[in-house]
Amino acid sequence: MPLRRRTLLAAASPLLLIDPHPPPRPRWIHSWTAAPQLTEPYDLPPEPFAGDTAMLVNTTVRQTVRLSLGGRRLRVRFSNAFGATDLPITAAAVALPLDGRPGAPGIEPDSSRRLTFGGRLEVTVPPGAQMISDPVDLPVVAAQNLTITVHLRDGQDGAGLTSHPGSRTTSWFIEGDRHADLELPGAVPVNHWYLISAVEVTATGAAGLVVLGDALTDGRGTTLNGNDRWPDQLLLRLRRPGLAVLNQASRGNRVLRDGLGPNALARLDRDVLSLSGARWLIVFEGVNDLGMTAATSEAQRRVVAELIGAYRQIALRAQACGLRIFGATLTPFGGNIYDDRAGVREAARQSVNQAIRSGLFDGCVDFDAAVRDPAVPGRLRPVFDAGDHLHLNPRGHAALAATVSSWLFAAAAG
C-alpha cells in the first residue's frame, strides 16, 4: 500500500514532516438543543419551587432530552439568557434514564456522571450568558434519551428564569440535593425544560440540520413524552449516520416582531449561527406574523413584503456562515382564529408561499402541499388537524417529515 504523500517543511531545527491529508479528528457538535425563552408567569415552577423573591431554592430538577447524534464524550450547556441575576448551580450530573424512557424520574444504576466546570463542582452563570460543562465520558447513540439533573442550593434571585416551555417532556422537581439519587420518590412533575439549552457530543464527519420555527415545529399537538414532532420523526426516518437534527423552534414565535420570546431575526445568531457543526437550515415560520397582523388588505400586503425581506436577511446571514438554507411553505389555518371571512390572510399566505417556491432560498420544502386538504386548500386535511385547524397532530408531523427528502443534504454537500 503506497505511503501517503508528505510535504517537507524547512524549519529552524528540527525539520518537520507535515501530512497534508491528516485523518479527520473528532470535534464537538450539537446533538440536542432547545431555544431559550423567558419563562412566562403561567410556566413558572409550581409551589414551593417558585418563591416571591427567588426561584428553585434548594431544588433538584431532573430532566430528560433525546439526543440526535451519538458520541463517546458529551458536555452540557446551561443558559441564563433571560435571567436578570446570577444563576448559581450547586451540582449538575448526566445519566441514562431508567429503561431509557423519556420523562423518567429514575436513572440507571452506575450511569450518573458528575459535571464540572473548569474542574469546579459549582458554577455561576451570569445574566444573559451560558456555561458549558467539562466533557464527561458517557457513550451515547443516536436517538438515545439522556437525563440531566441540576441542584440549586440558593436558587435564583428575582425574575427572569430561563426555560423552554414547549418541552413536550416531563421534568421532575424535589427539595434538597438529590442530583445523584437513582429514584426521586415524591418528586413533582412539570412539563417544561429549565436552565438547559444544549448537549454536545464528540463525533467525526458529522453535521447538523437546524430548524428555525414556531409552535408548529415546537410540537403543539404532539404526544407528551412521545418525541413525535416532525424533526424527531425526520431523524428516525432518514437514519442518516452523522446527522444531527436540531430543533430551535419557539412557541408563539414571529419572524418580525417579538412575541413569546425574541423575533426570529433577533435570535438567529444565538439559536442558529452559533451552533457547532451546523450545515443546513430550514426556516418554517411566518404564520404568526400573518395571524397577528390586522386582516386588512393594506396591513397584509405590508407584512408580506416585510416577511419576504426578513427571509432574505436570514438567508444572507446563514449563507455568510456557510449554511445552505431551505424555506418551508406556510401551512393552512382555515377555520382557526387566524382565519378571516374575507380571506385576506389566506391570500397573504399564498403570496408568501409563492415567494418561497420561487427561489427565495437555496431550496424549498413544500409543507403546505403535504398537509393541505385537496378539496379545500386553505384548510388542513382533517386527519392531520390537532383540533384547532392550525397545529398538527403526530400524523401531520409525520407528513411534514416525509416531505424533507435526503436530496436536501446531497444538494447542500454539492
Residue 377: cis peptide before it, omega within 30 degrees of 0: no
- Closest by CA to 65, choosing from 254, 232, 185, 251, is 232
Q: Is residue 241 a part of any domain in this protein? A: yes
Does 9 score more than 80 pLDDT? Answer: no
Domain shared by 143 and 215, yes or no = no
Q: Mean pLDDT over residues 6-12, rounded? A: 37
Give pLDDT, residue 6. 40
Give pLDDT, residue 25. 82
**The pairing of beta strand 136-140 with beta strand 71-79:** antiparallel
Q: What is the pLDDT of residues 74-127, one digit of tens each?
A: 999 999 999 999 999 999 999 999 999 999 999 999 999 999 999 999 999 999
Q: Which amino acid is it at 330? A: L
Does 342 score more than 80 pLDDT? Answer: yes
As a whole-number percent, the residues of the chain with pLDDT over 90 amount to 89
**In this structure, how many other beta carbons lie within 10 angstroms of the beta carbon of residue 408?**
18
Domain shared by 261 and 384, yes or no = yes
Average pLDDT over the chain, rounded to an integer: 93
Domain shared by 194 and 216, yes or no = no
Give pLDDT, residue 407. 78
Q: Mean pLDDT over residues 21-32, rounded? A: 85
Confidence of residue 21 (pLDDT cuts 50, 70, 90): low
Enclosing domain of residue 364: 205-413
Rounded Cα–Cα distance for residues 376 and 380 (Å): 8
- Positive or negative, the Cα torsion across 187, 232, 160, 199? positive
Domain shared by 191 and 210, yes or no = no
Of 198, 227, 242, the residue that ends a domain is 198
The CATH number of whichever domain residue 399 belongs to comes to 3.40.50.1110
Q: Is residue 21 a part of any domain in this protein? A: no
Domain shared by 189 and 234, yes or no = no
Of 198, 228, 247, the residue that ends a domain is 198
Confidence of residue 147 (pLDDT cuts 50, 70, 90): very high
Domain shared by 215 and 190, yes or no = no
Does 2 score more than 70 pLDDT? Answer: no
Domain shared by 239 and 378, yes or no = yes
Domain shared by 192 and 286, yes or no = no
Domain shared by 185 and 268, yes or no = no
